Chains A and B, each alone.
Chain A
């Protein structure tokens, strides 16, 4: 069957031009979307890291000031916070900090403990310095004031 009437249509060149233009437009849109997505991902990552750091710092500050004695056990990597009515156990090991049943994965690089301004590795502590891996060269520092009981107990133990 021969077609008697001419069908209205675009030429091949026109269609090709349209395809090329739409490809360019779609490519641009996709690259912009990719950029925006990366931006948002880094923003959310940064936000999560800072929030986690701040939460840990708050919790450490609360515990340092709530408990009377803080004792570090070198062998088990445990820090025991004690006062007459309550106690809390921290475990600082292998890049993570565990407080009771909570695990805080900060990517811990290094931990330093202090007692009366001196670096200590065991026993009583009154300050902690945590180098966290998610922030460059950044660390958390939490300390407490030692009360009179602590000093008296120390001189009593020395006798």
Chain B
């Protein structure tokens, strides 16, 4: 067949990539993936930490128990001195001069709280 360019036509036997594809090198891809993994680890750790802290700072159970004790004290259903040790708290109380002195220790966040209930009847 006549070719206007006069050059000999190259025979193509199969698929050949004619255009060079722009790509990153192996080291670059590896670095990128390592960075992504590191960022993922940091975020998951910090998120876990935040969630654990919300669980630790949750003192609903203790609040409910204190409310119950206050209620029972009002109607003199608790004998003093009072001492209670649970998994997450320690409550102690003693009666002095017509008032009850409570000491509450939250074992989860190591916080202490004191309050006094006046007993009008005595």
In the complex, per-residue mask of A39-55: 1 if CB is within 8 Å of any chain B CB, else 0:
10001001000100110
Known A-B contacts A3-B13, A117-B77; the reply to A129 vs B68 at CB < 8 A is yes
Count of A-B contacts judged by CB separation below 8 Å: 49
Dominant secondary structure at the B interface: helix
Closest to A142 in B: B67
Please, which residues of chain A bring their CB within 8 A of the CB of B16? 8
A interface residues, tally (CB under 8 Å): 26
B55 within 8 A of A: yes
> Which residues of chain B (28-62) have a CB below 8 Å from chain A?
44, 48, 51, 55, 58, 60-61
B71 touching A7 by the CB < 8 A rule?
A: no
Please, which residues of chain A bring their CB within 8 A of the CB of B58? 50
A90 within 8 A of B: no
Please, which residues of chain B bring their CB within 8 A of the CB of A118? 75, 77
Q: Which of B48, B60, B77 contacts A54 (CB 8 A)?
A: B60
> Which residues of chain A (1-35) have a CB below 8 Å from chain B?
3-5, 7-8
Q: Which of A39, A129, A138 contacts B48 (CB 8 A)?
A: A39
Please, which residues of chain A bring their CB within 8 A of the CB of B11? 4-5
B48 touching A117 by the CB < 8 A rule?
A: no
CA distance A108 to B58 in the complex (A): 21
